[in-house]
Amino acid sequence: MMEKSFPEGFLWGAATAAYQIEGGFNEDGRSTANWDVFCRIPGNVYHGDTGDVASDHYHHWKEDVALMKELGLPAYRFSFAWPRIIPTGKGPVNRKGLDFYDHLVDELLESNIKPFPTLYHWDHPAVLDEIGGWTNREMSAWFADYASILVEHFSDRITNWITINEPFVVAMIGYQLGGVAPGMKDVKATAAATHHLLLGHGLAVKAMRQAAKQPLQIGITLNLSNIESASPSQADRDAARCRDAYLNRVFLDPLFNGKYPVEMTENLGFVFPEGFEKDLPVIGEPTDFLGINNYTRDVVKANPANDLFPFDLIQPEESTFSTMWEMYPKGLYDLLTRLKRDYPLKAVYITENGTAITDGIDADNRVRDSRRIQFLQDYIASVHQAIKEGVPVKGYFVWSLMDNYEWSLGYSRRFGIIFVDYENGQRRVLKDSARWYSDVIRRNGFDMKKYYAEPFQSN
Ligand code: FCB
């Protein structure tokens, strides 16, 4: 008997995003993207790396789908590039942009792989930033128009759709901390962007249902983490509550409960655009599933000296880290069971989970990424446990199908289960984790094993 077997029909997949893999930045009518601009500003991206070529999926898509087929992947989450589809942001459609995705989608379907696209994974035509980007309320309507064009065109073949990927990163990291495009540091703009992203989502859901050629499954993807306070002190617990409002509830509450959390306005000084209350019913437009991206947990300590955020995230000692974050599989279980307690979840997809570790091609052309296998196994086991306790998780997507452009960290981080040899003709090599994952898919589960021993540490 297999220890961890998943419900029949559980959807296994892998995920990518347009700007991170496609390249082909100036081909076939694609306009300049916000990220093309952002990555060219010195200091914004590690090593000055750009997404001009990335993993060159724009030219390798056929080979990439063949690899997915080889792995037996049932589903593939990718994103559409707004600058390819509507190069001016809100004007005419670019036929060649649609063509690229037509070919991709048809190839996926022929290979028996379910396309599970995201409409917006952070890239939009740069011209839209000249008129305010997400601080401009009209952006929500332009996004909904873009969404309905894609649904009109593809809903004969695609039933599962994600509107927006991680509005937190766009709003808070993009408009408040300046770490992703557009690189602003303005709390007022952040509150506006937060609201308009949510409004754009709600308007899009409505427009998509109208444009659909068959009933669709529509959801939004949030990056959520379980929040823990660094100590039982009141100050740390209050800080953790604020962090929870800022990362999780600022999106979950308007989507599911028709309101913003009070901590946002009271403790964190967010001023949402005037008349925002009127939009809350639109934002709460019912969806079919919630997409969750999860990588780690947040351990929070109070920091009263910081008036913008009265909290710090700490790295717990004696824990294990990737080249990005703490590896903490139980955090995903804690998160899922908490969400079930607090929100009326119909269905959940883990739309991203994975890890960046140091890996490379060995002399025999293998990539022995056993730490990634360990990570995936332990996180997926957490999902298994949550399902056993009644959380309606319907599928899981590993981030990422292939190594790619990790935003402000450029090519310095590798998240793929497929290695991309950027220097050698963009050669693809299946990592050990890809083979392991393929086996999990085939068996619809796995037996728990120890794949990786921590390096010996003397003390
Ligand atoms: C998420 C993003 C995804 C990728 C992973 C590592 O925040 O959605 O594009 O960069 O992190």
Write down the pLDDT at residue 307. Answer: 73
The pair of three-digit structure tokens given for residue 454, joined into one six-digit string: 């921590």
The alpha carbon of 418 and the centre of ligand 1 are apart by a number of angstroms equal to 16
Share of the chain above pLDDT 90, in %: 95
Token pair 């003709």 is found at 425
pLDDT at 377: 98
pLDDT of residue 76 exceeding 70: yes
pLDDT in tens, 351-375: 999 999 999 999 999 999 999 999 9
**Residue 406 beta carbon below 6 angstroms from any ligand 1 atom:** yes
If DSSP codes are grouped into helix, strand and coil, which group holds residue 23?
coil
The pLDDT of 1-6, averaged and rounded, is: 92
Annotated active-site positions, please?
166, 352
Q: Give the pLDDT score at 453.
A: 77
16 in contact with ligand 1, CB cutoff 6 A:
no
Residue with tokens 């309507």: 141
Say what the pLDDT of residue 246 is. 97
Region 283-293: what's the mean pLDDT? 98
Looking at residue 455, its pLDDT comes to 64
| pLDDT at residue 308 tops 90 | no
Counting from 1 in the atom list of ligand 1, the atom nearest the Cα of 165 is 8
With cut-offs at 50, 70 and 90, classify the pLDDT of residue 457: low
pLDDT grade for 267, boundaries at 50, 70 and 90: confident
What is residue 2's predicted lDDT score, i.e. its pLDDT? 87
Q: Which of 453, 407, 424, 451 is nearest to 361 (CA)?
A: 424
Helical segments of 95-226, H only:
95-110, 127-130, 138-154, 167-168, 187-211
458 pLDDT higher than 70: no
For 365-421, how does the pLDDT look when each residue is reduced to its tens digit (9 = 90+)? 999 999 999 999 999 999 999 999 999 999 999 999 999 999 999 999 999 999 999
Q: Encode pLDDT of 27-54 as tens digits.
A: 999 999 999 999 999 999 999 999 999 9
Give nearest CA residue, ligand 1 atom 9: 17
**pLDDT of amino acid 1:** 76
Stated as kind and residue range, the H or E segment containing 332 is helix 330-342
Q: What is the mean pLDDT of the chain?
A: 97
Structure confidence at residue 456 (pLDDT): 64
Place of tokens 């995920």: 15
Q: Under DSSP, is residue 420 helix (H, G, I), strand (E, B) or coil?
A: strand
User: What tens digit of pLDDT does each residue of 167-183 get?
Assistant: 999 999 999 999 999 99
Q: Where does residue 322 fall: left (phi above 0), alpha (psi -120 to 50 degrees), or beta otherwise?
A: beta
Work out which ligand 1 atom sits closest to the CA atom of 166. Answer: 8
Q: How far, in Å, from the CA of 2 to the mean position of ligand 1?
A: 31
Q: What's the 104 CA to ligand 1 centre distance in angstroms?
A: 22
